[in-house]
Amino acid sequence: MSQIRIAKHWDVDRGEATPHAAYLRRREFLRRAGLAGAGLLGLSGCRPTTVDERPANAEVKSAARPVEPPPDLSIEDTVKPVPGSAFHSCDRNARYTVNRPTTDELVAARYNNFYEFGTDKESCWRQAQRLTVRPWTIDIGGLVAKPMTIGIDDLIRKMPCEERLYRFRCVERWAMVVPWSGFPFAALMKLVEPLSAAKFVRFVSFLKPSEAVGQGPGSGWNWPYYEGLTLAEAANELTFVATGLYGHDLPKQHGAPFRMVLPWKYGYKGAKSIVRIEFTAERPKTFWNDYAANEYGFYSNVNPKKPHPRWSQAREWMIGTQVEHDTQLYNGYGEYVAAMYTGDEH
């Protein structure tokens, strides 16, 4: 979907803060110049495409453009419990505290990045309501002793449950503080038993162009979204699977029914609406790194001293209140994660 992003007041105030928008504009330029096909062919030729990443290529070609969700859908409608879900609210883990106010639930619910549903934050939350989140199956495999294909509600019933208030920092410089519910990724690792040859974990989001307007024909993105972590990062105590937010089911626009949360990394490292998890020996490719390696590294740890090539990362601002803060190394989580790094990671 080629779409020119209309600059909102906060973009003007805060400069060029949208990493992805510049690429979209470039693509729009190429399209107008009649070069889009050549450009896209070049991109998709950059890396091998594996079978499980593009299981439904045929669907990409034939999908009709999704119908707009009802315009009268309210934001409150999107943050309700999901009928039949095994999710239940659970106690807050007091180990993780944040010395900033919690972001308003409805502010977070309408300020999302979820490119499968478009690039405009005003319409993304609405488009995301088209995603069918039940039934939802997650395939966990690769280098593990006990691979499994499991329905989301069976998985929720098997796993422990806790709530964690975490900071969250997008590479675009906006930040929030939200209470995720779910379980440590380490609990899921225990379930599938990674083999000693496993050194990385790869995450793959859904591919459903019939529901996701941004995955439609000619989108130019290499869907589905894919991300990765080292095994040590995956096993870190902060690494969290969110199945809920603000005490109820994870809203669709936040990546229902299963998304990763990595509070010391830029937001894009946490893939949403995951359908496949694979333990690998090789470092996995990642969606944004394949798109622009100099702008989006594999590690992407929050670091005020490492500017994005197009803007400084020294400061950040809270969605809702617009209050600004100095960015903290590892987003303030150094005590948990610094030992995994030399500091030179990109």
Residues that bind ligand MTE in the complex, under the rule CB under 6 A? 112-116, 170, 205, 225, 254-255, 267-268, 270-273
Shortest distance, position 261 Cβ to Mo ion, whole Å:
13
Strands 259-261 and 240-245: antiparallel
Binds 330: which of ligand MTE, Mo ion, none (CB < 5-8 Å by kind): none
* CB closer to ligand MTE, 96 vs 174: 174
* CB closer to ligand MTE, 268 vs 298: 268
Shortest distance, position 265 Cβ to Mo ion, whole Å:
10
Binds 140: which of Mo ion, ligand MTE, none (CB < 5-8 Å by kind): none
* CB closer to ligand MTE, 105 vs 153: 105
Contact residues for Mo ion, defined by CB under 5 A: 113, 170-171, 267-268
HSE at residue 248, side-chain half, CA atoms within 13 A, is 13
Binds 116: which of Mo ion, ligand MTE, none (CB < 5-8 Å by kind): ligand MTE
Please tell me the distance from the alpha carbon of residue 151 to that of residue 134, in angstroms, as a whole number. Answer: 9
Shortest distance, position 81 Cβ to ligand MTE, whole Å:
18
* CB closer to ligand MTE, 182 vs 194: 182
Binds 127: which of ligand MTE, Mo ion, none (CB < 5-8 Å by kind): none
Shortest distance, position 79 Cβ to ligand MTE, whole Å:
12
* CB closer to ligand MTE, 143 vs 272: 272
Shortest distance, position 234 Cβ to ligand MTE, whole Å:
16
Query: Can you give the length of the chain in residues?
Result: 346
Classify 5 as helix, strand or coil: coil
Shortest distance, position 145 Cβ to ligand MTE, whole Å:
28
Binds 40: which of ligand MTE, Mo ion, none (CB < 5-8 Å by kind): none
* 154 Rama class: left (phi>0) / alpha (psi -120 to 50) / beta: alpha
* CB closer to ligand MTE, 98 vs 158: 98
Q: Are 152 and 138 in contact, with CB atoms under 8 Å apart? A: yes
HSE at residue 290, side-chain half, CA atoms within 13 A, is 23
* CB closer to ligand MTE, 114 vs 183: 114
* Helical spans, DSSP H, in 204-252: 231-235
Which residues, at least 6 apart from 171, have a Cβ–Cβ distance to it below 8 Å?
19, 266, 267, 268, 296, 300, 308, 313
Place of tokens 């690792």: 189
State which residue has the least CB distance to ligand MTE: 267
- Annotate 50-119 with three-state secondary structure: CHHHCCCHHHHHHCCCCCCCCCCCCCHHHHCCCCCCCCCCCCECCCCCCCCCCCCHHHHHCCCCCHHHCC
Q: Are 81 and 134 in contact, with CB atoms under 8 Å apart? A: no
Binds 205: which of Mo ion, ligand MTE, none (CB < 5-8 Å by kind): ligand MTE
Binds 298: which of Mo ion, ligand MTE, none (CB < 5-8 Å by kind): none
* CB closer to Mo ion, 17 vs 86: 17
Binds 271: which of Mo ion, ligand MTE, none (CB < 5-8 Å by kind): ligand MTE
Binds 155: which of Mo ion, ligand MTE, none (CB < 5-8 Å by kind): none
- Token pair, residue 333, equals 């989580």
* CB closer to ligand MTE, 194 vs 257: 257
Gap between the terminal Cα atoms of the chain: 29
Which residues, at least 6 apart from 211, have a Cβ–Cβ distance to it below 8 Å?
66, 130, 131, 132
Shortest distance, position 113 Cβ to ligand MTE, whole Å:
4
DSSP state of 143: S
- Token pair, residue 87, equals 């999710």
